[in-house]
Amino acid sequence: MKNRTKVLLFALINILLIGTITAIGFISGYFKGNETTTLRQVVNIFTSAALFALLVVVAIEFASPFIVKSATFTTAFVALAVFLMLFTSSDTLNLLPSIGIDNTHIAYYYVFRIFNYGSFLFGLVFLYFFFKQDYGFKENKYGELVSALVLIGDYIVFIVLLFFGYSHFAFIPAFILAFYWTIYITHSVIERYTFNAIYLYSFLILTTLVGAELAEILNYTINDYFHNIGISAYSSITIILFFFLVYMSFTFKMNKEAQKNEINEKRLNELQNNVLKNQINPHFIFNTLAIIKSLYLEDPKKGSKAIDLFSQHLRAYVEAGESFLVPLSKELDIITSYVDLANLRGEKQFEVIYDIDFFDFEVPYFSLQPFIENALKYSKINEKEDGYIEIQTFEEEDDYMIIISDNGVGFDPTNVKSTSYGIKNSRERLRLLLGATVSIDSQIDKGSKITIRIPRKDMRNKE
Amino acid sequence: MKIIVVDDEIKSLHVFLDHVVSNTNFEYQFFKDDHNQILTYVKNNEIDGAFLDIKMDNIYGPDLAKELIKIKPEIKIIFITGLNYSYSTLPDDLKKNVIGIIYKPIKEVELSKYLLKMANEKPVLKVRMFGHFDCFMNNELVRFSSNKSKELFALLLTLNGKSLTMEHAITNLWPDKDVDKAKILYRDAIWRLRQTLHEIGFECVDFSRALVTLNKKKDSIECDYWDLLKGKDVFYNYEFCIPYEWSINYESEINYLYEKRQQFFKKELFMR
């Protein structure tokens, strides 16, 4: 199915859901008339307790020595928004006479309505941030500006309608808002290809929030507001419980991911250390120094060039101790200096041919070199006349591709897999850091071909 | 330009000092890591720039830099280091004054790049096409990553500003290879040329899929062949772009141009 169709379908389902909740809320509010039961008060107390529990959980996380996740901030704000919404609902308005305040004054109505609707918007804004920060909502500066303008404009229209006696039409901006948000968030979800439990929970929250608020507004505008009961207390429970669930599952998932990352980090450090240990071995260092010495005796200029190459190579090791990834063009420079050094050493020369179509991405340090070493070792290209290794890079729709091929004698790939530690190490680091796959294809007498497929960053979170 | 150089080991700076001395625009004063001596000197003398080591026995380079900036807010600082120290790791209050970091062992090309930057001069690429083809960045010989990439650059320069197409390059540089192999070799030369120009900090070429063009940095290229075309008085020894085979195609035209020019100059001399 095409994306556009998916968006429309998803939006339609969402609008239907909102519609249903609105209808139920409206009908229940319309027919219940002006009963104020003790049940409703119990419900209110229960809702407040649930909300309080949520706030306590958030507070504990704030106070704990661990790093506070951005999800916690947004959760706190959404909880605050829902609390404000509840506090300014019709229930609270109806409770006012019991503490001796006359609720018939028209100002209370306006103040409560504005705050109620305002906190509803507030909640939506922070739900948006919840999506954006923690789910990497597609970055869209223009979209954010439009959202902000729509929200502000909508709010102004709402207030104008309310104050100039057209309160019957105040549900129109609310509908616009519901529609806009449904489309906007749905679209972003589809763009990111992510359909998991947390997303669905969040949708339910949003749906309930929008539906409940619409019902509330409808009841206000069509019924006489003093007789209105609405569903805000019931819906608030739903909202809070849903949000609680989302928050818990989110935290759980984050913890799991953090654990996984921790294990990966340990493993990566180990792999990286092994690479460095393998690269800076005494054999390599002293051999190179010996060659440099003899080059100096031959021609000081050649010796000086060799020193430059060697120090460039050593510098790369030092840098590799500080980060895992290196821009591709730099990794290729490291390979060039490696090949030039190797050519200084050997009697037979070989060359690496670069066919670089795209280089705006990163690879793990020294992750390509083992494949070059391997080609040298098994394909014997330096023994062949006109032997060469070719490194080719280009981009495909979803991946960056690196192909390392040679015209050597080839080897049995099943054999090499078990013997070359360097290749295994590279493979694992490519997989852990970039989610890349490596395939080795070699035929005796025809040379070998190594294909590295690195998924683009924005595709990596695809689940 | 007056500069100071601070390092606790003079030996590692040999190449460097040779250069500063040979470059007549620079006057330098060398200091070991004696804190008071340096500050007194800087307070009492006009100083434009400073080369500082980072890790010395008695002073820490960035700390010294901060004090120098206090005395001379416009001072330009270059760090010389064997450490893995990058611009982003510098304290923020130094970033305005630090114009570069040079790593030991010092590469001549790298050093001349920063000397130019310190003197606030535009980098100039000198190209010698008469005789053996070579390029010089601030009097330092440019080392190309491969012979073919150097040859490709030479071919591009003979076009005097016009774009070099892949076909033209292949017919001149790889006349014997089959087309597919030649295309790969062409792309290899392109990549290596790009990397070489990037290394010397003079990215004067725009690369597109099958076309190579000099960009507006070409105004900073001094080329003897171009000078001849412009009608300037240049010395020509009847050798062009050695050792490249395709240079024969240009020789007769250049010889003709040069002789015409010589006659013109002789006539002018005679008229006087």
pLDDT by residue (tens digit) across A113-152?
Answer: 777 777 777 777 776 666 665 544 444 555 566 666 777 7
Instruction: Count contacts between A and B (CB, < 8 Å).
Output: 36
Using CA atoms, how far apart are residues A35 and A76, in angstroms rounded to an integer? Answer: 33
Query: Considering only CB atoms, which chain B residues are within 8 Å of A321?
Result: 84
Cα separations in angstroms, A139 against A2, A188, A228, A369: 21, 10, 42, 36
Q: How far is B187 from chain A (nearest CA, A)?
A: 5
Q: Are strands B211-214 and B98-103 parallel, antiparallel or unpaired?
A: unpaired
Q: Cis peptide leading into B243, omega within 30 of 0?
A: yes
- CA distance linking residue A404 with residue A417, whole number of Å: 16
Contact (CB<8Å) B191/A390: no
Task: Assess whether pLDDT exceeds 70 at residue A252.
Answer: no
Interface predicted TM-score (ipTM) of this complex, two decimals: 0.81
Cα A209 from Cα A22, distance rounded (Å): 10
A8-12, A368-372, B180-184, B235-239: lowest mean pLDDT where?
A8-12
Which chain B residues are within 8 Å of A318, Cβ to Cβ? 84
CB contact under 8 Å between B187 and A355, yes or no, is: yes
User: Interior CA angle at B16 toward B14 and B19, to 5°?
Assistant: 110
| 3-class secondary structure, B122 | coil
Q: Please tell me the predicted confidence (pLDDT) of residue A147.
A: 66
Mean pLDDT across A183-189: 61
Residues A222-236, mean pLDDT to the nearest whole number = 49
Residue numbers in A near B195 (CB within 8 A): 329, 332-333, 336
Which of the four pLDDT bands, split at 50, 70 and 90, describes residue A193? very low
Against a cut of 0.90, is the pTM above it? no
Residue A35 or residue B149, greater confidence: B149
How far off is chain A from B105, nearest CA to CA, in Å?
Answer: 7
Tell me which chain A residue has its CA closest to the CA of residue B181. Answer: A353
**pLDDT for residue B155:** 92
Contacts of B181 in chain A (CB under 8 A): none
- How many CB atoms neighbour CB A267 within 10 A? 13
- pLDDT of res. A230: 44
Mean pLDDT of A254-267: 74
A81 has pLDDT over 70: yes
* Interface check A395 vs B, CB under 8 A: no
Compute the nearest-CA separation of A356 from chain B (Å). Answer: 7
CA distance A214 to chain B (A): 52
Report the percent of chain B where pLDDT is more than 70: 98
* Residue A461, pLDDT score: 47
3-state secondary structure chain A: CCHHHHHHHHHHHHHHHHHHHHHHHHHHHHHHCCCCCHHHHHHHHHHHHHHHHHHHHHHHHHHCCCCCCHHHHHHHHHHHHHHHHHHCCHHHHHHHHHHCCCCCCHHHHHHHHHHHHHHHHHHHHHHHHHHHHHHCCCCCHHHHHHHHHHHHHHHHHHHHHHHCCCHHHCHHHHHHHHHHHHHHHHHHHHHHCCCCHHHHHHHHHHHHHHHHHHHHHHHHHHCCHHHCCCCHHHHHHHHHHHHHHHHHHHHHHHHHHHHHHHHHHHHHHHHHHHHHHHHCCHHHHHHHHHHHHHHHHHCHHHHHHHHHHHHHHHHHHHHHCCCCEEEHHHHHHHHHHHHHHHHHHCCCCCEEEEEECCCCCEEECCCCHHHHHHHHHHCCHHHCCCCEEEEEEEECCCEEEEEEEECCCCCCHHHHHHHCHHHHHHHHHHHHHHCCEEEEEEECCCEEEEEEEEECHHHCCCC
Please give the share of chain B, as a percent, with pLDDT higher than 90.
Answer: 19
Q: Which residue in chain A is spatially nearest to B208 when comparing CA positions?
A: A357
Q: Residue B192: which of A311, A321, A354 has the nearest Cβ?
A: A354
Stretch (H or E) spanning B117: helix B108-118
DSSP strand E in chain B: where? 2-6, 27-31, 49-53, 76-81, 98-103, 125-128, 134-137, 140-141, 164-165, 205-208, 211-214, 221-223
State pLDDT tens for residues B127-183.
999 989 999 987 788 889 889 999 999 999 998 888 999 999 999 999 888 888 899
For residue A316, the model assigns a pLDDT of: 86
**Of the candidate ranges A24-38, A403-417, A448-462, B166-180, the one whose mean pLDDT is the lowest:** A24-38
User: Who has greater pLDDT, A252 or A403?
Assistant: A403
Distance separating alpha carbons of residues A246 and A252, to the nearest angstrom: 10
Does the pLDDT of residue A57 top 80, yes or no? no
B195 near A CB under 8 A: yes
Highest mean predicted confidence (pLDDT) among A257-261, A409-413, A443-447, B49-53: B49-53
CB contact under 8 A, B187 and A311: no
Q: Which tens digit of pLDDT belongs to each residue from A371-421?
A: 888 877 777 776 777 778 899 999 988 889 999 988 877 766 666 554 578
Chain-chain contact of A355 with B188 (C-beta, under 8 angstroms): yes
- Torsion angle in degrees (nearest 10) through CA of A280, A284, A290, A296: -70
Q: What is the pLDDT of residue B192?
A: 93
